[in-house]
Amino acid sequence: MQNVYKHKNVTWIDLESPTKEEIRNVINDYRVHPLIAEELLVPTLRPKVDLYNDCIYLILHFPCVTHSHSKSHSNEIDFVIGKDYIITAHYESLDPIHQFSKIFEVNSILDKSDMGEHGGYMLFYLLRELYKNSMEQLFDIDKNLKNIEDRIFRGEEHAMVRTISHINRKLLTFKQAIQYHKGVLESFETAGRHFFGEDFNYHLRSMLSEYHKVASTLEGHRDTVSELRDTNDSLLSSKTNAVMKTLTVMAFIILPMTFIGQVFGVSIKEIPLQDSPNGFWVIISIMAFVGISGFAIFKYKKWL
């Protein structure tokens, strides 16, 4: 599907799951290099930036760990940036792209000049919207982390083991999606300065700054998950140790009582109290005395 938006001298062509015919038409209309056309047709595993005589080709992957329309955990977006156009190609429906199209249309109606001087400005605002979406996903994860913390200290440590692992998996997927952005954007900064001039340098630095905001927040969340896991494991170990301690104390208290019962249960006439009419109660009293004494000793030693 192809959507075309225009503002002043700049045209934005957005391609969603483009067909070969759509790619061919765009390539012919804007005289894009044939190598770019080949890469637009199929997904690319690694981000990259290439500088051509009349355009810059940029590939970035953005995470989609929450509110995703697909089963994939990252979405590739290809950008072809020229002086008077920008082409975006992606293979899924993306909320930030849809949101930016609305912003672009509003700015076109209001005739905002900073949106349309050249394709580089378009890329700047588009990347800012994409990183904003990434920050919103991290904000959702942050709310989950606070909920996990509350539940840990409410005594739900066992249930939180799987939940913490699930959140950690999301953060790992998020990191894998943006791990190459820094190097690619630094390369794009050099290419963009050459292609658009020194006047565009501020916006180039701002693109890198938007990435650093996301990366910094992501690392903060990863540290929080690590601390929550350590806390949860400590509480689980403490509970397990307490249970084992109680069972051990019970075993040591019951062991002598069991021994007494076994001794008096032996069928030998010489065993004391066997022929006594009150023998049973005497034996029970001895066992109770031994049990209570053992309990008192454990208490005195503060083992309980």
From the list 83, 115, 84, 114, the residue with the least C-alpha distance to 101 is 115
pLDDT score of 123: 87
* Helices within 197-278 (DSSP H only): 201-264
Instruction: Give the C-alpha separation, 219 to 222, whole Å.
Output: 5
Q: What tens-digit pLDDT sequence spans the chain (304 residues)?
A: 778 777 777 888 888 888 888 888 888 787 888 788 777 877 787 888 888 888 888 999 988 876 555 556 778 888 988 888 888 888 887 788 787 777 777 665 545 555 667 888 888 888 988 899 889 889 998 999 899 888 888 888 888 888 888 999 989 988 988 889 999 999 988 888 888 888 888 888 998 899 999 999 999 999 998 988 888 788 878 777 777 767 776 777 677 777 766 666 665 555 665 566 666 667 677 777 777 777 777 676 666 6
Backbone φ and ψ for 287, nearest 5 degrees, come out as -65, -40
pLDDT score of 212: 93
- All structural domains of the chain, each given as residue ranges with its CATH number in brackets, are 2-236 (3.30.460.20), 242-300 (1.20.58)
* Angle (CA) 113 114 119, round 5°: 105
Contacts of 195-204 with CB under 8 Å at 24 or more apart are 195/51, 195/56, 195/81, 195/120, 196/83, 196/118, 196/120, 200/118, 200/120, 200/121, 203/120, 203/121, 203/124, 204/120
From the list 179, 182, 169, 184, the residue with the least C-alpha distance to 221 is 169
pLDDT score of 213: 92
Residue 157's CB is within 10 A of a number of other CB atoms, namely: 20
| Token pair in block for residue 35 | 């190598």
Task: Give the global pTM.
Answer: 0.74
pLDDT score of 217: 92
| Token pair in block for residue 48 | 């990259």
E strand segments, the chain: 2-7, 10-16, 48-51, 56-63, 74-81, 85-90
| Amino acid present at 228 | L
| Token pair in block for residue 215 | 């990366």
